[in-house]
Structure 1
Amino acid sequence: MAQNGDVVNGSPSKASNLTIEFPHISLAEDEGFTTALTELVNAGYSEAEAGIFKPGYLRTSASEIASFIKTGILVVASAPSPETTSKRIPLGCISIKKLAENRAELGLFAVAIEQRGSGIGRDLMDWAEKWCLDNCGGSGVAIAQLDLLVPTHFTHTFKVRLELWYTKRGYSLTGSRDFALDYPSLAPQLAGPTEYRVYEKTLV
């Protein structure tokens, strides 16, 4: 668990009393928490995937968020509610799916828009990579994998920035996948041609 004030990759995040963890399964039944997290993700992806999908597309739903919490694949960054310390406010999230003995896939990466630049995104990625190394690095090597959906009919400035950020973190483009094969129900909602790029980072 990373707490505010811990130095991660150079400097601490600016968020007050930040906690990063797999939330307790009971939070899957907390409608306020799952709704807030759903809105956070959808707001972030509405910008990150603007123009990639047809109007009306939403990245996730409260029921999907709840299922991710129940199955233990969603990591959440949160801070105490200013109204009561018994409640926590989600500030960001990232999913971790173990694919093989030494490989895990990272996804559903989002930070509350008002928290961008606070270091939460970096802290979430650091936490996820450490989890991958601790849980997929039995031989001393683990591979973190992530996918990036990039339109090929226009330059998406957010995707350009994100690719640069991943590259600076040590991720390398290793190929592409068929989005329609992975997500057959979502492919018809694409607004134009895209490339589903795969990035990997070796963790040691």
Structure 2
Amino acid sequence: MKLLFSLTSLFLLICSTALAYDNEPNGFKGLKWGTSIEEFKNVYPNATLQKQQPGEYNPANIITYIVPINESKLSGITITSPFRYSFYNNKLESVLVTFTGKDNYETLNKQKILLNRMSMIYGEINESSGNNIDEFIPGLSTSYYNFNYCWKGTTTTINLNGSYKEPNLSSYLSISISSVEIRKQWLSKVKPIDKTEWSKIRKNIISEYRSDW
């Protein structure tokens, strides 16, 4: 699970801006992009600072706070892990919402429902990658699958990502909502990761979390 989260987080870092889509938000749950940590804590006084995981890729020194979910739902789907609000230079930059099910079957069903409902709200997907979600049947394969759907706007990028380790070993499903402008700011300060560096990062992650598989 932790490996899937780490790899997914790294993938989300490189999802860039482009076009526009319907009903594009300017933040998440009433907090606009650029909100300071102090303002954030006034709204969520029970938020706790997330410790950086061993081997985690965080070149821009992003600070993340965890907020309890309190049986929350998004688009009618139950959220299964605390919200993660991330800040760059004391400005709210992104939010990560997790929906992972108890097994690959449940996670896949959640992703299909979210994909359908998000398409109704935000319109046509700007970009997708990975396998064909309609061809994936949990329990009948021994491979790794990823289904990623992205709505790229002028203000906000929304990314729906599902990762599955077969046969039905583990899965991870999340929605990342991020500020186009603030992400652009810190990406401009970060040296692009090359294949050699990424191989080292991936090796460290796998070594640290191998037991989770």
Q: TM-score range by the shorter chain?
A: under 0.3
TM-score by length of 2: 0.27
TM-score by length of 1: 0.28
Structure with greater contact order relative to length (CA < 8 Å, sep ≥ 6)? 2
